[in-house]
Structure 1
Amino acid sequence: MALADLAVTAYTSFTALTLLQQISIIVFTPFVYNILWQLYYSTRKDRVPLVFYWIPWVGSAVPYGMQPYDFFESCRAKHGDVFAFVLLGKVMTVYLGPKGHEFVLNSKGASVSAEEAYKHLTTPVFGKGVIYDCSNARLMEQKKFAKYALTKDSFINYVPKIKEEILDYFVDSENFKMKGKNSGIANVMLTQPELTIFTASRSLMGDEMRKLFDASFAQLYSDLDKGFTPINFVFPNLPLPQYRKRDEAQRKISGTYMKLINQRRATGDIDPQRDLIDSLMTHSTYKDGVKMTDQEIANLLIGVLMGGQHTSAATSAWFLLHLAERPELQEELYQEVTSVLAPKGGKLEDLSYDDLQKMPLVTNVIKETLRIHMPLHSIFRKVMKPLVVPNTKYVVPAGHHVLVSPGYAQTNDKYFPNAAKFDPHRWDDASAQTSTGDDTIDYGFGAVSKGVSSPYLPFGGGRHRCIGEQFAYVQLGTILATYVFNLKWTFEEGATVPDVDYTSMVTLPQEPAKIKWVKRETCVI
């Protein structure tokens, strides 16, 4: 019997059934198929163990989305460090621990692709032709272009600007208004995103662009930020209000950058030492002679600023919350900051880049915060060619995804004793825990460590390692030092460090996330 005849016979038989029978078939057939597919998958000896799931297509999305580390641990206990689960129609192969970091982050670019995994999510936010909306070779060169504004000399200039922005924020923000108040309540989920976008724009984009970053401009970045949610990852273009806001924000921010770029082009007022905008206008010609268009430069500026904003906003919010229940650590930090500034007369206005290098506890608070709260709990790659899992018989087929979670290792007692405790002093003599080897490799944006086998990788690793790590420590160190010099803070009565909200793409504190602050005697406002 021809296939068409079979289809007609099946349709005729189906329409002859009662409505209840038809509904039952429509509802239950996907479930039956789902179970049969999983049974077949389990017979494949060349496939990693698959986490069983009942709901077709959805798979394990709910337990993974709500508590990813708990989900990983339960799967590891049953299947070992290597397993797969279905996430909204995608088969994700997970390899936990340092060996997994090496497997995923150092896989050859021809075998796995970050671009194919993320471009549908990032392109509407950043724009065309940049980050993941281009070849990997182009992205590596774009990172090199951006690094011209991430040198030590640049950092030296950034510190006083970042400090000034923080002090201005203490005066202007509704959460502080410190010229008229000696104490108050601050919602860190409001203050830190604003503060990080203001400090990053002032330092990276320059004074001229910073003047445009009022509260309304910060709101545009907030609208863009909402483009990084799980629903956007699966459905990047839905006719929903938040999608329209995302797209409108992208156009307005990009247009603002373009206006300044066009103005500088027209007048010839371009100084590559002034800010990242001029730096990219000067250094943005690819090796093959092709120049980035000005629109691509504007889009890359959005990507650079947002990349740092995610990490710094979340990390600074978390260290303020952890320190709120640790007054003794605040006092230690205060003593460290004031002792470093003492030879200069003890004035915060003299805080410099070199001073930050003499504050190990400040650095270790940031490091410990990043350990417990790695901003991205999962890192994906799409498999482009069949990928053999080392020392196993398993093969991950093309079209599947691989997933690695440094945050899982960073919060695991196996790698960090008493991992749940916020303890910056664990880093006082713990360099071995972050060692990845001395070998380096240059993917096109400067030498980085070749090894990624450390359990501690808050900035990722390999060719997609974040280039803003040093800037993040400068920005966050200045924020922390300025806070402890001017303020003491605690929780309101009965409050504690909030749980983690894993439902967004970034690990954020659940609200309410508020601190109760009071001015110190050394407060400069």
Structure 2
Amino acid sequence: MGLLNDISGAATAITSTWTGITLTIFGAIASAILLNVARQLLLRNPNEPPIVFHWVPFIGSTITYGIDPYRFFFACREKYGDIFTFILLGKKTTVCLGTKGNDFILNGKLKDVNAEEIYSPLTTPVFGKDVVYDCPNAKLMEQKKFVKFGLTSSALRSYVQLIGQETRSFFARDAVHKRFASTSGTVDIPPTFAELTLYTASRSLQGKEVREKFDSTFADLFHDLDMGFTPINFMLPWAPLPQNRKRDIAQRKMAETYTSIIEQRRKQGNLKSGNREEDMIWNLMNCTYKDGTPVPDREVAHMMIALLMAGQHSSSSTSSWIFLRLASRPDIQKELLEEQKQVLGVKSDGTINDLSYEELSRLPLHNQVVKETLRIHTPIHSILRKVKQPMHVEGTPYTIPPTHSLLATPGVTARTAEHFPEPLSWEPHRWDESPSDKHARLAPTYLKEGVVEEKEDYGYGEISKGAASPYLPFGAGRHRCIGEQFAYLQLQTILATVVREFKFSNVDGSDKVVGTDYSSLFSQPMRPAVVKWERREKA
């Protein structure tokens, strides 16, 4: 009995101890929550934007924001106005909405805002050292200039043919993957077009050698590297997580692959352009910084990785959305095909004549389909900057302190009825130069007002600052995406090539479109997103 009593007493003591620990923990959490709420209610600083109310410190509004950023932004706008601060994983993040907010952040001066400190922890392990956000801004502007010179009209002209060839090969009946061997079937759109845009971008921008490697292990390396773009790596890029180990191995191997291509080309001799196929690698191999230093091969390799990663994400997402939208709009599919027939002409066998670079501009509806898709489905919903010194917001009592990050979201202005009537309605005809009575009510208001955009040269050529426009799918200011022209060309060429081969429709016959997945840094369709396809007899 004595032993049983001892055991019973020990068990009671252990239970009492754990109960005490549990109560202490819950008490601490409750105290932290109460203190957090009291601070928000009693200690508001009138010189700073209002803080979005939240219960749990550090977590703040992270979960609500992460589930659906646009719903969060519009709800906060209704309650707090165009400028407000929310807690994002312990960091005070100030959002500035509207065209003025976009201008304030995206066209901020270097002494006031900084992109490198925000993005470098995420991008450097993926792209590599000494490029993009892992170098001084002045060097980045030079690198952007190098890339821009690789996107000349002559280069873009050749890309149309290459992208068209890759697309036809991918969807051919006798393609290796056999997914489109029959006359009809179903297809999961996002992974299919992710694969296609990877092939088209690598073949056009990256060169024949890189494209050929995607048939082997290069695609697996790309996937492992892509996993480095997880939101947690904003905070823990160094964490010994499985995906980070794979990321680091993939980065080294991809860099070695590009370097070997460069070295092989140098051994063959720096051939004159007339005797070689032009691509971005050749362009960068022959670039020199202002101080006279040739771009090192290692930096060329890292820039090529950055180009491949950056371009593939936006084009993959946008092309997927284009065909998901078209599956719900057979009328637009029919109009696109008719536009090609009228502009390009039809051969004696009933097929449409080949597409060229010059003729892309003569296909306005194709351009408008891409433009309208980018408006509603802007690839990047949030653009962040680190505040370097106190920034007063003109016309308000607010001064943003250096302890904050700034967040611009051009996607909000693109979804605002003030600028785009019925903003969530996907209607390419809203961009018609002379819209019919049916579509005139949907026309963007800023086009009617004739807003003139300011331009500035940040070191890589004069570009629009984008301050007055509510349509900024490629950002604005010094960090505006220089691949905008290529993206339009790639998307329009894929669209024109695919629509003459296939008809798409929703599996259930409805006009519904899948929701958006915001779990990564890039907005993309929820998966799976399956639609029906039917091969056209003559197109």
Structure-2 change in CA distance of 1:40 and 1:436 (3 Å): farther
Alignment partner of 1:448 out of 456, 463, 476:
463
Cα distance in 2 between the residues matched to 1:48 and 1:493: 47
Tell which deviates more after alignment, 123-132 or 20-29: 20-29
* Counterpart AA for 1:206: G
Tell which deviates more after alignment, 449-458 or 168-177: 168-177
Instruction: Tell me the equivalent position of 1:340.
Output: 343
Q: Where do residues 7-156 of structure 1 align in structure 2 (5 Å cutoff)?
A: 19-20=21-22, 22-39=24-41, 41-42=43-44, 44-156=45-157
Structure-2 change in CA distance of 1:431 and 1:146 (3 Å): farther
Contact kept, 8 Å, 2:225 with 2:246, in 1: the verdict is: yes
Q: Which structure 2 segments of 5+ residues have no match?
A: 1-16, 434-442
Q: Kindly provide the CA deviation profile for residues 442-464 of structure 1, in whole angstroms up to 9, marking residues without a partner as x.
A: 10111101342211101100001
* Counterpart AA for 2:454: D
Q: CA deviation at 1:168?
A: 0.9
Residue 409, structure 1, aligned to residue 444, structure 2: no
Look up the SS of the partner of 1:158 in the other structure.
helix
Residue 498, structure 1, aligned to residue 514, structure 2: yes
* Counterpart AA for 2:535: K
TM-score computed with the length of structure 2 as normaliser: 0.89
Instruction: Tell me the equivalent position of 2:310.
Output: 307
* Counterpart AA for 2:295: M
Tell which deviates more after alignment, 30-39 or 487-496: 30-39
Structure-2 change in CA distance of 1:81 and 1:295 (3 Å): same
Q: CA deviation at 1:25?
A: 4.5
Q: Where do residues 52-451 of structure 1 align in structure 2 (5 Å cutoff)?
A: 52-171=53-172, 177-178=179-180, 180-214=181-215, 216-271=217-272, 274-283=278-287, 285-342=288-345, 347-348=351-352, 350-429=354-433, 433=446, 437-451=452-466
Look up the SS of the partner of 1:314 in the other structure.
helix
* Counterpart AA for 2:319: S
Cα distance in 1 between the residues matched to 2:51 and 2:132: 32
* Counterpart AA for 1:469: E
* Counterpart AA for 1:312: S
Q: CA deviation at 1:208?
A: 2.4
Structure-2 change in CA distance of 1:436 and 1:243 (3 Å): farther
Q: CA deviation at 1:339?
A: 1.6
Cα distance in 2 between the residues matched to 1:418 and 1:215: 46
Q: Which structure 1 segments of 5+ residues have no match?
A: 1-14
Look up the SS of the partner of 1:350 in the other structure.
coil
Look up the SS of the partner of 1:211 in the other structure.
helix
Contact kept, 8 Å, 1:175 with 1:187, in 2: the verdict is: no
> Please, what is the CA RMSD of the aligned residues?
2.1
Q: Kindly provide the CA deviation profile for residues 164-209 of structure 1, in whole angstroms up to 9, marking residues without a partner as x.
A: 000111136677644x311121111111111011001111112222
Cα distance in 2 between the residues matched to 1:424 and 1:500: 20
Look up the SS of the partner of 1:200 in the other structure.
helix
* Counterpart AA for 2:479: H
Alignment partner of 1:474 out of 489, 499, 502:
489
Q: Number of aligned pairs?
A: 505
* Counterpart AA for 2:36: N
Contact kept, 8 Å, 1:65 with 1:502, in 2: the verdict is: yes
Look up the SS of the partner of 2:533 in the other structure.
strand
Instruction: Tell me the equivalent position of 2:529.
Output: 513
* Counterpart AA for 2:514: P
Q: CA deviation at 1:267?
A: 2.6
* Counterpart AA for 1:507: S
Structure-2 change in CA distance of 1:19 and 1:175 (3 Å): same
Contact kept, 8 Å, 1:110 with 1:384, in 2: the verdict is: yes
Q: CA deviation at 1:123?
A: 0.8
* Counterpart AA for 1:466: C
Q: CA deviation at 1:18?
A: 5.1
Structure-2 change in CA distance of 1:93 and 1:338 (3 Å): same
Contact kept, 8 Å, 2:119 with 2:133, in 1: the verdict is: yes
Look up the SS of the partner of 2:213 in the other structure.
coil
* Counterpart AA for 1:497: V
Cα distance in 2 between the residues matched to 1:513 and 1:403: 30
Q: Kindly provide the CA deviation profile for residues 457-497 of structure 1, in whole angstroms up to 9, marking residues without a partner as x.
A: 01100001100111011100100000111111111125631
Q: State the structure with more CA Rg.
A: 2
Look up the SS of the partner of 2:253 in the other structure.
helix
